[in-house]
Amino acid sequence: MKKILVCCGSSMITSTIAITKLKTAMEQNGIPVTFIQCKFAEVPSKVRMEHPDVIVPTGALKDSLTEDVPVVRGTCFVTGMGEKETIEEIVGILKD
């Protein structure tokens, strides 16, 4: 089971939108995943505890918080622009 950490600034609204879209995409690609949702400030502790395969922030996230876990910007899940390419990138990471 793969793990995707989805994070946003504070209110969890944009990360919830991203998770909803990613859940459908992962099902369509046959990839079983668990989602971890948090605020940007919680990323370092979630990375250490959960060991995600990829991090999908819905905004700008400092590289220093990710401990070398691949990061794919998920702003497209809010704007609707570039979703297909972003999903393809995430799928590529998870299938490696």
- Residue ranges and CATH numbers for the domains of the chain are 2-95 (3.40.50.2300)
The H-or-E segment that residue 23 falls in is helix 13-28
Q: What is the mean pLDDT of each run of 10 residues along the chain (96 residues)?
A: 94 91 97 96 96 96 90 95 97 93
State residue 22's pLDDT score: 98
State residue 16's pLDDT score: 93
- Cβ neighbours of 37 (radius 10 Å): 16
Note the pTM of the prediction, 2 decimals. 0.94
The H-or-E segment that residue 1 falls in is none
State residue 96's pLDDT score: 78
Cα gap 78→45, rounded to integer Å: 25
State residue 63's pLDDT score: 85
